[in-house]
Amino acid sequence: MPNTRKTGYQSRVTALLMLLIVSATAHASPQYFIVGNTQGGAAHCEYETIQSALDAALANGPDLDYVFVTNTAGYTNQALVVGNQSVLIEGGYDDCDLSSPGPAATVVGDYAHSVIDIQTGTSSGRSITLRHLDLSGGDAPFGGAVHILGSAYVLIEGVTMHDNKASYGGGISSAQATLAIGKDVGILNNTARRQGGGMYLQGGTVRIQNDRTTLSGNHVQYDAANLPSGLGGGIYATRFGTTPVDILIGAWQYQAGDPRPPISGFSIANNRADDKGGGIYLDGPSVSLIAQETSLTGNSAANSGGAVFMYNGSSLQMSRDFPGVPPAPQCANYLQCNVIRGNSVDSHSTYVAAGGAINVQVGSVRLIQTAVLQNSADSGSAISVGSIAGAPNPPNTIRLQGALISRNNCVHGSNFRPCSTIDLGSGADTRISYSTFADNSHASGSSPAEIYSFSSVGSSLTLLSSILQSSVPIVFQGGATSYQTDCVISSNSALTMGTRSQVGAPGFNNPANFDYRLRSKSLATDYCDDANTINDDFTDLVLNGRGFDDTQHGNLYGRFDVGAFESDHIFGGGYE
């Protein structure tokens, strides 16, 4: 990963060396332990191995100690153990004086253990920081690169974890800890034999900075002799006993007064699950993921949930806005972040594999200001729901607000399951507001539809202030589903029209380039009032406030545009 030394690097090193001299004479705490080549007059490199420095730090007592790993030596065949202690392990120095910044320290495992095993137990107040390290060559039951067990606070910054293996968590496994992933972290090309190709999260609190962080190319294998397996190519998250797991992806490292430059987002890309959940698998109640400016792209699964698979009461929320003070930084391009794009489920000729983007088997999904693009599956190319024994009625809750659902591909469907973009056939309480469906594709036959909603008592489908452009019927509806629409513009008359809804061409700006913003003369501009706006509605997909009154366009029912975008008339003629 890039070396991110700040401008105050030299002054910080000077201060550290002064403290080192003081500690050497007065045995003050904290202590500083420098690892590297101890030969040739390198006076400040006192430890030849990282483990000997960690052991000395542990013996020094519970206060925070510093272990600096220099590039003056090589570190292979490593199986490091961090005990019940507070310590910072930092690489990125080319000399023992810590005066020359260099690349991250390369630490290669012994291919039989975790590269770094953090075992703090239940002691409170322990703090571990890993910074500027390159970790590879681990192979363990839990956490190929890093294994964390205990109630410690663990911060990881500027660390690459790549080409490691484990049964659970090919890159990292964390149980019960508070885990903070900072900037410049890459979890790349790791493999798990059971669950969590990149990360295995079991209970505790997880915070991931959504700037210059990547989870990519990880793989979880399927083993019929060791089930469950093949779950969560990028992340697998579950409870630890009754301890919940709370995952927040956002700009948590930014404080009041910090600059607000555009961020790059957190990228979950090109991960593979040989069963379910190519990018993420959320397993069980009290498993919550809230993600801001996060992209899930190019992930795949063999059976369901190309990007995300959710099971037994878990919850997912994605948005661009992150309410609170200070305001969160955002990506410059809405198609760069908060997008679920190009994920897929393998097509099967003998059965239907569903949920190209998301498959939820009892849970809650809220996609706010989210683009869901070019995903594919046998059915439910964007979203599919399912149920399990003992589930509530309805088993799922789906909320789309300010979402763009476009160019997803339903591969074939079946005689009992229409080929659809959103498959609600197993039951859901669904509310779709201020969203745009456009140019999704469906295999012929099997009564294709944008939304399949033929389900059980208690299910509902509400379409509000949205645009649905499709060459197939909008809704295949029946059973005991409650159904209503208001302020909906549909491209065909197959939609059962509710109040203030009509058939017509919406007038997009440049759909060939995924620009589904509205021209000022669009039918959807200043179409509705704010009756369909609820307290948790945010700004539109490009962060415009709702209810801009376009003076070039007369109001129909009010000044609120329908669909994922609120027109600001700058692009009214179709040109930037």
Residue pLDDT tens, the chain, 576 long:
333 333 333 333 333 333 333 333 334 467 999 999 998 655 689 999 999 999 999 999 888 999 999 999 999 999 999 999 999 999 999 999 999 999 999 999 999 999 999 999 877 789 999 999 999 999 999 999 999 999 999 999 999 999 999 999 999 999 999 999 999 999 999 999 999 999 999 999 999 999 999 999 999 999 989 899 999 999 999 999 999 999 999 887 777 667 677 889 999 999 999 999 999 999 999 999 999 999 999 999 999 999 999 999 999 999 998 665 556 788 888 888 999 999 999 987 667 788 999 999 999 999 999 999 999 999 899 999 988 888 888 899 999 999 999 999 998 866 667 889 999 988 899 999 999 999 999 987 667 889 988 776 678 899 999 999 988 888 876 665 688 899 999 987 666 667 898 888 898 999 999 999 998 789 999 999 988 887 655 689 988 888 888 888 889 999 999 999 998 655 444 434
Quick one: the chain helix, strand, coil %, rounded to 5? 5, 45, 50
Helix (H, G, I), strand (E, B) or coil at 490: strand
Rounded distance between C-alpha atoms, residue 94 and residue 102, angstroms: 5
Residue among 504, 562, 506, 502 nearest 533 (CA): 562
Token pair belonging to 16: 């550290």
Q: Could you count the other beta carbons within 10 Å of the beta carbon of residue 166?
A: 28
Q: Could you count the other beta carbons within 10 Å of the beta carbon of residue 444?
A: 9
| Runs of H (alpha helix) within 384-532 | none
Residue among 502, 513, 507 nearest 550 (CA): 507
* Model confidence pTM above 0.85: yes
How many CA atoms are closer than 13 Å to the CA of 218, on its beta-carbon side?
A: 45
Token pair belonging to 512: 């060939």
Rounded distance between C-alpha atoms, residue 412 and residue 441, angstroms: 11
